[in-house]
Structure 1
Amino acid sequence: MSGTEEKSRSPWVILALVIVALIGGLGGWLLGTRQQPGDKAAIEEIVRNYILEHPEILPQAMERLQAREDGKQVASAGNALTAPFPGAVLGNPNGSVTLVEFTDYACGYCRASVPEVEALIAANPDLKVVIRELPILSPASADAARWSLAAAEQGKFEAFHKAMFAAGRPAADTIQAAAARAGLDLDLARKVIAEPRVEAEIKQNLDFARQLRIDGTPSWVIGKQLMAGAVGQKVLQEAIDAAKAAPKE
């Protein structure tokens, strides 16, 4: 799920859509205000010249269009996106604001985001962080993800989550070390891992990622905003504040 080619082309696709929207919108306005419809080519020339004279509008328009498209994708995912695997939650499980994080235990940027998420939780008592395991970087990532869900079953998700990132890249020995450090009942965990619902959870997360066009970790969803990469605590806090201020639907 690299999505490299699609990702590299997406800004140009967005730019084309923006220009088409600008031409369509401004052209429609001009036609609507004229007594005579005028020449379509002349209208397009007016729009072209306006864009050339005011190129600063393009990044703003691209950003707004991308945000609109992201909002549609998040809305289409429905409430299931913010419904966690039982216990796979950080912060306030009954919080009024939900931040969804797609993460992989082999992801260095995810590891670097751990203290930032902890700081956000400390600063926002009403914040619920739903962790969606997205093991896309290595085969051992999937093993670590399964163990994390087994830890959630035992009410020790946070302990395993921190221990696994602290242990280094996922491997048989680091996973077992993290499980021991988190105090898991290892036999019970192995039974849970073998249950179909664990595999179903990981499959659902992969499906969400495809639907939202997520091809890397960490990725974040809050409200209708979708953010990719290690965006930092400040950006996440701004998104949390915006979600708090948004009218309730």
Structure 2
Amino acid sequence: MKYVIVGVTSLVLVLAFVIGSNYYKEQQIQKYGFMAADNAELFVRDHSKTLGSDDAKVYLVEFMDPACETCAAFAPFVKQIMDKYPGKIKLVLRYAPFHDGADDFVKILEAAGMQGKYWETLNLMFETQNIWANHHNYQPQRLWDILPGAGVDIEQIKKDMHDPAIAKIIEQDMADVKTLNVQKTPGYFVNGKPLQTFGYRQLYELIQSELNAQYPN
């Protein structure tokens, strides 16, 4: 009888945990969905870089760091999804440079954007990340040798990256990171709904659910 009671108690505790966890996730989704509707600026700022149609009904917001290995790994996957549903998904990039020294790489990327080479530079940074940022072993001197491949003026980037406006962009994004409780990169939100369990399949399913909701036909 004693073992039965212990077993039943354990089962009840497990069920309570599962129910509580699911309830928490649902509350989080509802919370961020509400924030997306009424505080859209937390997800998309005027300075945010975007890719995709302005008519898209599904917004994929990614808090990223150009030196983040997982961000680089997910970039081709996100591109594949966007290519699969042309015109229906808009990618919004935000910054979350959590690691020491990562700010400088965001500044370099933004400075490249001043030359109209934002996406070319980001793609090149991701493709060569193992050379200049392998396992957070940042070696910016190697990056300077690589960046001409994106068609940028290196000396101009070295000047522009110190523009106070770029520092303000990072400051604002990090404030939104705190408000939205983003704790690691990449951090994803789809129409304001956070990716609760991280993974390729989970991200695809979250995007797919919003596509189904926004494009029922």
TM-score with structure 1 length normalisation?
Answer: 0.67
1:218 aligns with 2:182: no
Pair 1:224–1:235, CA change in 2 (3 A): same
CA distance in 2, matches of 1:182, 1:171: 18
- Displacement after TM superposition at 1:210 (Å): 1.0
2-structure distance, mates of 1:133, 1:67: 26
Which residue pairs with 2:23 in the alignment?
Answer: 64
2:164 is aligned with 1:205: no
Aligned partners of 1:221 and 1:106: how far apart in 2? 20
Give structure 2 stretches of 5+ with no counterpart.
1-7
Alpha-carbon shift at residue 100 of structure 1 (Å): 0.8
Cα gap change, 1:231 to 1:174, in 2 (>3 Å): farther
SS in 2 for 1:89: strand
Structure 1 partner of 2:50? 89
Q: Which amino acid in 1 is paired with 2:209?
A: A
Following superposition, the deviation at residue 145 of structure 1 comes to 0.6
Question: Counterparts of 1:75-224 in structure 2 under 5 Å?
Answer: 75-76=34-35, 78-84=39-45, 86=47, 88-92=49-53, 94-125=55-86, 126-139=88-101, 141-168=102-129, 169=133, 170-224=138-192
| In 2: Cα distance, 1:201 partner to 1:227 partner | 24
Residue 116 of structure 1: how far off its partner (Å): 0.9
Corresponding pairs, count: 198
**Separation (CA, whole Å) in 1 of partners of 2:121 and 2:81:** 19
Cα offset, 1:242, TM superposition: 2.0
Q: Does 1:236 align with 2:203?
A: yes
Distance 2:144 2:33 in 1: 35
Q: Which amino acid aligns with 1:122?
A: D
**Cα distance change, pair 211–63 in 1 and its aligned pair in 2 (3 A):** same
Contact 2:72/2:126 (<8 A) preserved: yes
Return the offset for 1:84. Answer: 4.8
Aligned-pair RMSD on alpha carbons?
A: 2.9
Structure 1 unaligned residues grouped into runs of 5+: 1-48
Tell me, in whole angstroms, the C-alpha distance in 1 between the residues paired with 2:60 and 2:177: 15
**1:198 positional shift:** 0.9
